[in-house]
Amino acid sequence: IIVRFGGWNKAVEKAGLSLVHLRNISEKDLFENIEYVWLKIGKQPVFRDIKSPISKYPRAQYVSRFGTWRKALESFIEFINTPSDENSVEELIGKSSPNDLTSEPIIKHKTKRYPSERLKVQVLMRDGNKCKLCGITLTGDNIHFDHIIPWSKGGETVLENLQVLCSKHNLAKSNLEYPKK
């Protein structure tokens, strides 16, 4: 290749392919990729899971940045367990105004309804990938993140109020309150 084309990059260009330089990828991007792979496969990824088409970045990026895959996972765990603004909450429940004819409180949420990718990974790390009601192993689209105290009843989207359920049980549960198992 060197003799014929003058180097690998020139050979790739002669073949009509574009060069993809994966340099200067931030740790945050690498960690978000681990989050994505974790959620996609429904369990903690192992070294062999970090490959195309699931992973945006090759395994070599993690080894190059962190030394080993294990060290990359350790750094990822530190990243995931670092509190972010959307995971910290002070529950706000406002009382109805005197002019309001209903006596029910107006619920004001401090968090968004749907958990962030980071929060989903924290729930999976805590609960594993098993439904809390029936215990079946969950993967992919069958994983549902359920509010223990329903969103409609003031439950916030925080680690303590989320659990993993299969799609069947989450859809059946609706906005009922089941005890956390």
Please give the DSSP secondary-structure letter assigned to residue 141: G
| DSSP-assigned beta bridge partners for residue 165 | 144
pLDDT value at residue 31 = 92
Those residues whose C-beta lies under 8 Å from the C-beta of residue 40, and which sit 6 or more positions away, are 54, 140
pLDDT per residue as tens, the chain (181 positions): 889 999 887 888 888 887 666 667 889 999 999 988 988 888 889 999 998 888 988 888 899 889 999 999 999 988 887 766 544 433 333 333 444 444 455 667 788 888 888 888 888 888 888 888 888 888 877 888 888 888 788 888 898 989 988 888 888 877 777 655 5
Domains of the chain by start residue, with CATH: 21-80 (no CATH), 89-173 (1.10.30)
pLDDT value at residue 34 = 92
Written as one letter, the residue type at 107 is I
57 vs 20: CA distance, rounded Å = 11
pLDDT value at residue 87 = 41
Name the burial class of residue 153, with classes exposed (0-12), middle (13-18) and buried (19+) by CB atoms within 10 angstroms of its CB: exposed
If one counts every other C-beta atom within 10 angstroms of the C-beta of residue 76, the result is 23
pLDDT value at residue 89 = 39
pLDDT value at residue 20 = 62
| DSSP-assigned beta bridge partners for residue 144 | 165
181 vs 178: CA distance, rounded Å = 9
